[in-house]
Amino acid sequence: MDFVYTCPGCEGSGCDKCGGSGQFKLEECPRKAIPYYVQEFLDYAKLYKKGIPPEHGGALDQLHSFNVYSQFAWGELDKYEAELGLTKRGF
């Protein structure tokens, strides 16, 4: 499956970075371009926004899989609530 997006550099008008097409094709997972420690920081930042600070005894001591699955579960809950027109739970 190809994922084609509007070039963020020229906003679709065509530039050197997109070869003048105004688009770019995503050929691999964009997370591969981000170092692991940056991904981990972004995950902790999302948890902190939800009220779970990265402190010892808190998010830093949780298994990585717990943090990953929590993010997935919250995303799914948000999606279903949006589809049903429900208000947010606050986290």
Domain boundaries, given as residue ranges, for the chain: 1-30, 34-91
Question: What pLDDT, on the 0 to 100 scale, is given for residue 91?
Answer: 45
Per-residue pLDDT of 19-53, as tens digits, reads 999 998 888 877 787 888 888 888 888 888 888 77
Contacts of 48 (CB under 8 A, 6+ apart): 54, 59
**pLDDT of 11 strictly over 80:** yes
User: What's the whole-number mean pLDDT along residues 66-74?
Assistant: 80
The CA distances from residue 12 to 9, 15, 21, in Å, are: 8, 8, 7
User: What's the whole-number mean pLDDT along residues 4-33?
Assistant: 87
Question: What pLDDT, on the 0 to 100 scale, is given for residue 53?
Answer: 78
